[in-house]
Structure formats: C-alpha cells, structure tokens
Amino acid sequence: MSIDCEDQELLEGFLAETTELLEKLDDDLISLEKNPEDADLMNRIFRSIHTVKGASSFLGFDSLVKVTHKTEDVLNRLRKGELILNSEIMDVVLEAVDLVKTLVGDIKAGEIVERELDDTIAKLIPFLSENATEATVLAPVFASMEASAPAEGDAPSAGQGAEADRAADAGETADAGEIAGAEESPAAQPAPAAPPKPEPATSLPQRTAAAPRAGGASPPVKEPQKAAARGEDLADNSTVRVDVKRLDDLMNQVGELVLERNRMIQLHSDYQSGLDPNGFGDDFGKLSKRLNFVTSELQMQVLKMRMLPVEKVFKKFPRIVRNLARDLGKEVDLQIIGEETELDRSVVDEIGDPLIHLIRNALDHGLETPDERLGAGKSRTGTVVLSAAHEGNQIVISIKDDGRGIDPERVSRKAIEKGLITEEQLTNMGAGEILDLLFLPGFSTKDQATDLSGRGVGMDVVRTNIRKLNGIIEIKNDLGRGSEFILRLPLTLAIIQSLLVEVEREVYSIPLSSVIETMRVSKREFHMVGGQEVLKLRDSVLPLLRLQRTFGCAERSADRDTYYVVIVGVGEKRIGLVVTRLLGQQEVAIKSLGKFLANLPGIGGSTIMGDGRVALIVDPMGLVS
C-alpha cells in the first residue's frame, strides 16, 4: 500500500519532527531507567510520544496511533506513579518505540507494510490502566514486589501474577500470538524486580529468563532486532538544520566573493581597453590575495556547516550497551565524554559501525563478569568510557574499558594456531606488533564465537573502515586493568593539506598528515639490506619505496645523483618514499575515483590541480602495509 497524503509538505514535516523526537526518546528512556525519579525527564518522554501520537492521528496513520496510544498509556501510568518503572516495563516500552520507528521508517520509504503490531501491543497491555482486570491483578503484584525486597519472595508472587494474567488474557483474546506475547512478559518478571538492589542473584535469573525467550518464542525476539536496524536507517542525514547565524555569515562571505568577482571583471576590461597597463600586475596581485582570503573564509564556513556533533552517533550507544550488558550478564556503566565535539558529517556517517563494533568488543571481550571482577578485586560494575575530543587537526575518539585487558600471550598463541603467523615471525615481534595481530583478517581470541562478536571478521573490518576515513587506530593495553582503543580521524574528508611531489613527471599528492619529514639524499646513501632498499637515517634504518616502481611510471632519467625522500608514518611504522622532485604544499579537495577504481592499492583518491589536470592522492597506509 502506498501512502496517500494530500499535503506532501505536511508529511515531510511530520517525518522530520518524528524522527528527531524518536532519536531523542531512546536516549531519554535509558536515562530515565537510571533516574526513575526525574519528573522532568518523564514528562518530556511522555510529551514526545504524545506529539507523535497526535501528529500521526492527524495524518491518519492508524497503526502508528495504535502503538503510540498504548505506549502513552503505559507512560502515563508511570508518570502518575501507578506503575513503578522496572527494566521489564522499560523493555516493553523500548520495543514499542522500536516498532514506532519501524512504522515511521515505512512511511518514510513511501510504502506502508503490514506489520505485526499485536505482539508488542499485547506486551504493553498488562501494564495498562484501561484493562481493569490486569491492572487490579498486577498492581498488588507490583506492590508485593516492592514490599518484599529479597529476591526469594519475588518468584512465587510474580508467578501468581503471571497465572492470573494469562487467564485474563486468554479470556480476552483467542489469538495465539498474543497469548505467547503475554506469557513472555510475566515470565521475565522475576528478574527485573531486583535491579534497584543489585545483588549477585540478579544476573542469574536474568539469564535464565532470557534463555527460554530465545529458544521458545523466536519471532517476538527477532522482530525488535530488525526494528532496531530499521530505526538506525531512520536517522539518515538527508536534511540539515543550520544555525541562522552561520547562514548569515555565509551570505556575507558570498557577498564579498561577488565584490571580488566584480573587481576582477573591472580589472580585465580596464586591461583590455589599455588603461594603465603598468598597474595591472600590482592590482592583479592584490586581487588574488583578497580572493584567496575570501575563499578560505568561505571554505571554513561551509566546513563548519557540515560539522555535526558526534553526539549523533554516541546517543545510540547507551541503548546498545544496556541490551548487550543484559545479554552478557555483565554490569556496565557507560560514560560518555565530549559528545558535543563536532566533526564532518561524512565522518559522522561512517564511524557508527566501527564504534559499535569496538564497544561490543569492550563489553564482550574486555569486561569480566561481575563475579570475575569481584575476584580480581575490582568493583562489580565495569566501566566503559567513550570519549571524543579535538586534538589539533584531528578528532580523537577513544573507547576505554577497565576490564581484563588484552593478553599478548593469548593473542600470539591464537595467531599461530590460526596459521596467521609463524613462530619465527613471532619471535621478531614487539609488544605493539603483537597487539596489531588483532587486526588481521580471520583473527578471534574468543574461544567460542558469541552472537555479538568473536567471529573473527570484526577488527580487520574496523581498521579498514577507519583507514578509509584516513584515520588510524591504536591500542593501549594494560593487562588486568583494561584496554583502550583510540581512533584518530581527520576533521573532514573533503579537503586536506597535501604535499605535491613529482614522480617521473607525474604529479602525486601525499596527505600532509602522514608526512613526517622530507629530505634530499644522495644516491650513495641508499643501501641494500636483504633485497630491500634502505636509508640510514640518524639512528634508525628506514625502508625505502621507489614510487616510480610501485606506480609503474616510465623511468625518464634513470641516472641521477640526488633524490628526494618523503618520510611517511602510519602509527609506529615509517617508510621513505623516493620521489623525483618536491613541488610544494597545497590544500586540495578530494575527489572520489568512482567505484570502479575505488580499491587501488596505494591510491586513496584524486584531486584537481590548478591547471585542471587530475593528480592522484597517495594513500600512505596502503603503501606501508
């Protein structure tokens, strides 16, 4: 069924607003779980759902109204204090929000698909005030749960509640799916009752509750996952909100650009009509200086408008961490620092997946279970710190956990077992290189692959993605005390500072961020060590790479005495690129080579030079590895 809406503008407005509200909602709900007493937060959540409900009923999206209405009712009861928030209610509410996201996604895609609403709604129903039977049965159950804090007292009463529930539900609806849905929620109740008082028992019932769910009622479990994936799609970045002030600034800059253009036209016509030919050079010089100034200002402005706070990515994580922690039976405190740090939208769009992966790893491999933590003399709740900050021309994002850290012994053993390296290679490796093994394709230290991570396809993909963004990833490791993954990314992908070099009359551009130094070297200083050309540089030996060979350039002047060497560094690795000539430093705009030439080794893209020719941009990381 396609969407039939008379006013397209209205629909777009609805979608934009709803998407924004829903994005915020996830975050708010998670914070609410931490601070159930926060009335402001509660009200805000209630208002968001209410707004979505109102707008969708106005536009006639009935299924959306149905779900939001029930959700609103549950929230209303929470707000009035008739229900006490526990993680069971939160799960159901989150599931409902996911469903809402899926529905909105459908509307956005222009196709309304028949979706299974009843499962989710059935889960909401037990918490509803409307439904008198459940409410009266459930209210005492919740009351008794609250009263009898010790975990032992909970199970029987909750069980009774479940029984009563089931009976009531079965009487009401003959639908088998709904019964399954209703069965499921009460079954999981004993566990969530405890979270206010974290005790060793919590993780156990939680897991036992999770197990039958995964086994028995598979459709309701899988559905929310799909919904979550859909929800992420929803938050695409096809429209931008720009601060009016920034827009005004931009307009000013453009005004100046127009002035400069007029001056240029004037200058040209003066020149053509032979007016003051002597002054032309001077005037033109001044003009190009001003133009240079205006365009760089303009460039900065536009760049700023493309900047987004990294919060856009980070706000997904509390939810992910919450779910993961529960699935893994771990207690995790996620701290987010510096979410207001801005970076280019092209980067924001790309870092989501690698970050999710790293966070999963931190939770799955890094953090220990509460018991293990207590055994190791740590607090039972593990901490994961996700932080972002600007550092010079880069943005640094770090994911730090206080878990068990990475055991180099285990890493190297695994790598040998999997045949990724030989014993011999291992003996030559330093600590840093051993950790680098994690990034090899096919590597996994987890003895048993879990659903979350450990399939061995992860870290190499993470690194590839980060490299695509011209970034690097580093590992800091403190065995027994935790590990930290640090991503260093350029602020923008659109424009970079680069060093232009000539290789046998072909011009290449090397990103300045990876250039460490350049030097002029006499041919005599090149040495051969084990078939590898090297240069003795101060105390170290630098491997050399002749770009004309790597890139297969026709050698035009075979014999020359001096060469230029550009030393590039990626992480700890250094390599010297031998070039014919250095041409200078220039800011270049990166152009993609298109999908056919996307994966060329050693070539990261292209740029257009002042004379209109295309110059290729060297990808130093591709050359180093």
Partner 1 sequence: MQNALTKVKSEEYGGELIQLVSFNLENEEYGINVLMVREIIRMLNITRVPNTPHYVEGVINLRGKVIPIISLRRKFDLMEAEYDKRTRIMVMEVVGELMGFIVDEVSEVIRISGKEIQPPPPVVSSGIEQECMAGVINQADRLLVLLDLERMFTADERRIFSSVG
| Active-site residue, from 33, 50, 95, 465 | 50
* Pairwise CA distance, residues 192 & 202, whole Å: 8
Q: Is 536 helix (H, G, I), strand (E, B) or coil?
A: strand
Q: Does 613 bind partner 1 (CB under 8 A)?
A: yes
Nearer to partner 1, 327 or 506 (CB): 506
Nearer to partner 1, 104 or 616 (CB): 616
Residues 116-175 that bind partner 1 (CB under 8 A): none
Q: Does 621 bind partner 1 (CB under 8 A)?
A: no
Q: Does 556 bind partner 1 (CB under 8 A)?
A: no
Q: Which of 83, 181, 606, 623 binds partner 1 (CB under 8 A)?
A: 606
Q: Does 592 bind partner 1 (CB under 8 A)?
A: yes
- How far does the chain reach from its first CA to its final CA, in angstroms? 52
Residue count, binding to partner 1 (CB under 8 A): 25
Using a 10 angstrom Cβ sphere, with 0-12 exposed, 13-18 middle and 19 or more buried, the burial of residue 118 is middle
Q: Strands 332-337 and 603-608, how do they pair?
A: unpaired
Q: Which of 599, 604, 623, 625 binds partner 1 (CB under 8 A)?
A: 599
Nearer to partner 1, 538 or 613 (CB): 613
* Pairwise CA distance, residues 384 & 368, whole Å: 12
Nearer to partner 1, 277 or 552 (CB): 552
Structure tokens at 463: 């690194």
> Cβ 162 to partner 1, closest distance in Å?
54
Q: Does 490 bind partner 1 (CB under 8 A)?
A: no
Q: Which of 433, 550, 569, 624 binds partner 1 (CB under 8 A)?
A: 550
Structure tokens at 65: 């109204």
Q: Which residues contact 196 (CB under 8 A, 6 or more apart)?
A: 86
Query: Which amino acid is it at 59?
Result: L
* Pairwise CA distance, residues 419 & 422, whole Å: 7
Residues 504-533 that bind partner 1 (CB under 8 A): 506
Q: Is 408 helix (H, G, I), strand (E, B) or coil?
A: helix
Among 295, 312, 380, 375, CA closest to 348: 312
Using a 10 angstrom Cβ sphere, with 0-12 exposed, 13-18 middle and 19 or more buried, the burial of residue 423 is exposed
Q: Does 610 bind partner 1 (CB under 8 A)?
A: no
Nearer to partner 1, 506 or 525 (CB): 506
> Cβ 591 to partner 1, closest distance in Å?
4
Q: Which of 13, 216, 598, 625 binds partner 1 (CB under 8 A)?
A: 598
Among 485, 443, 488, CA closest to 357: 485
Q: Does 601 bind partner 1 (CB under 8 A)?
A: yes
> Cβ 375 to partner 1, closest distance in Å?
48
Q: Does 113 bind partner 1 (CB under 8 A)?
A: no
Element (H, E) at 259: helix 244-272
Contact assessment for residue 443 and residue 461, using Cβ atoms and an 8 Å cutoff: no
* Pairwise CA distance, residues 384 & 402, whole Å: 7
Q: Does 603 bind partner 1 (CB under 8 A)?
A: yes
Nearer to partner 1, 358 or 547 (CB): 547
Q: Does 552 bind partner 1 (CB under 8 A)?
A: yes
> Cβ 549 to partner 1, closest distance in Å?
10
365 is annotated as an active-site residue: no
Q: Does 616 bind partner 1 (CB under 8 A)?
A: yes
Other Cβ atoms within 10 Å of 200 Cβ, number: 11
Nearer to partner 1, 529 or 597 (CB): 597
CA contacts within 13 A on the Cβ side of 58: 11
* Pairwise CA distance, residues 251 & 169, whole Å: 63
| Active-site residue, from 33, 72, 223, 368 | 72
Q: For partner 1, which stretch binds (CB under 8 A), given 164-172, 205-213, 294-302, 613-621?
A: 613-621
72 is annotated as an active-site residue: yes
69 is annotated as an active-site residue: no
Give me the helix-helix angle, 218-234 and 203-215, nearest 10°: 100
Instruction: Catalogue the active-site residues.
Output: 50, 72, 361
Contact residues: partner 1, CB under 8 A = 506, 550-553, 591-603, 606, 608, 612-616
